[in-house]
Amino acid sequence: MERYGLSIHYGEIALKGKLRPRFEKQLRENIRYETGSLPSTTDNRLLMDKTDEETKNLLKMTPGVSWFGDAVIIDRDEKLLLENLKNIISTYGSSVNLDVKRIDKKFENTSLELKEKIAKTLGMHFDPHEYKLRVEIMPKNYIINYSIQRGIGGVPVGSAGKVISLFSGGIDSAVVPFEMMKRGCSVDLLHVYALPTRDAVINSKIVDLAKKISSIAPTRLFLVPFHFFGLKVMEIDSRYELVLFKRFLLKLAERLAKEYGYKGIATGDSLSQVASQTLDNINAISYGFDIPIFRPLLTYNKEEIINKAKMYGTYDTSIKDYKDCCSIVSKRPATAANLLKIKTLEAQINLDKIVNECLSKLQTEDFTRKLR
């Protein structure tokens, strides 16, 4: 018997003890959402019949997937194993990186003994820098893994609750949802727009990015107009506009979190990357909120964030032209905002009233993956 498909492996989930079945079930359901096919399960790995490139590209971006590869599943017959390995290796030469894993501890040979037997029989040379093959000794089968690709790891989306993420459409804000999903969070997006109409937003990169995120898990996009805040903030010292704008965003997100049951707010702050993200400013921006504020990019530099954006496939869209609100508020912000000063200015413009006015114009868009 020979069966061809994909063998999908997870890392952290295997360490969850009694909770592992719940995490594994969530991962299987997430893969079905993305690909339209529910993988079967056996001994800490998932198996799929699909082998097309779109499925592979989705698996690479699936939180919880550590690695996957094309797989041949055969009866536990050593002759059959050697024949299949010979066929696979013939494409890549005799020098390969062969890994043998004994899942069935009752198997008569150790992993090293079987590896040496395969090498001697097929005339193979081992080189850790060459093409990777992995043979797994299962209770009833051999699984040969080849064309191995790394996933992003982590735990499945939906295993850690819901968060709402501040979303400008820039490079950083588009990376944050993926980083939070990798830690098991379902993520919805809050975008404050300066464009004149909602339709203008719908036809922009904001929706393109939301669709990208929704390929991993269903995503809701909250849309709130900027102009109520923009009119009032003109009355204050421009050096504090950006800090107040960040507090405005967090107040909007906090209200939505309490109404819709989000357990946290995620932002793209990166410590000391720009003038508004000093410790003093972050402290002033964060003061007084009841909802946890998560900053998954806090210790990354810009190059690291750009590399993640390219990995997640959001970079090219994020750098497209778009009139975001941060480009409107002061470009010369105070770098050490005084909390008392911020509270005074907040009361002066009646920030809570502005939040109420903006939320009265709230609109939502829901995105789910559209299968082929």
- What is the domain-level CATH number for residue 230? 3.40.50.620
Give the domain extent around 172.
Answer: 162-367
Last residue in a domain, options 129, 150, 171: 150
Q: Give domain status of residue 155, yes or no.
A: no
182 shares its domain with 111: no
Question: Quick one: which H or E segment has residue 136?
Answer: strand 132-137
**Does 372 have pLDDT greater than 60?**
no
Q: What is the pLDDT of residues 199-241, one digit of tens each?
A: 888 889 999 999 999 999 999 999 999 888 877 777 777 777 8
| Number of domains present in the structure of the chain | 2
Residue ranges in 215-338 assigned as alpha helix (H): 227-233, 241-260, 279-286, 302-312, 315-318
Q: What is the pLDDT of residues 301-359, one digit of tens each?
A: 999 999 999 999 999 999 998 777 666 665 676 677 778 888 888 888 899 999 999 99
313 shares its domain with 344: yes
What pLDDT score does 53 carry?
93
Q: Give domain status of residue 156, yes or no.
A: no
Positive/negative CA dihedral, 56, 7, 33, 258: negative
> Which band of pLDDT confidence, cut at 50, 70 and 90, is reported for residue 60?
very high
107 shares its domain with 229: no
Last residue in a domain, options 87, 120, 150: 150
CATH number of the domain where residue 90 is located: 3.30.2130.30
Return the closest-CA partner of residue 137 out of 56, 73, 206, 61.
73
Last residue in a domain, options 94, 119, 150: 150
**Does 76 have pLDDT greater than 80?**
yes
Q: Calculate the average pLDDT of the chain.
A: 88
Instruction: Tell me the mean pLDDT in the region 179-183.
Output: 97
Q: Give domain status of residue 285, yes or no.
A: yes
Model pTM score: 0.89
**Does 16 have pLDDT greater than 80?**
yes
**Does 61 have pLDDT greater than 90?**
yes
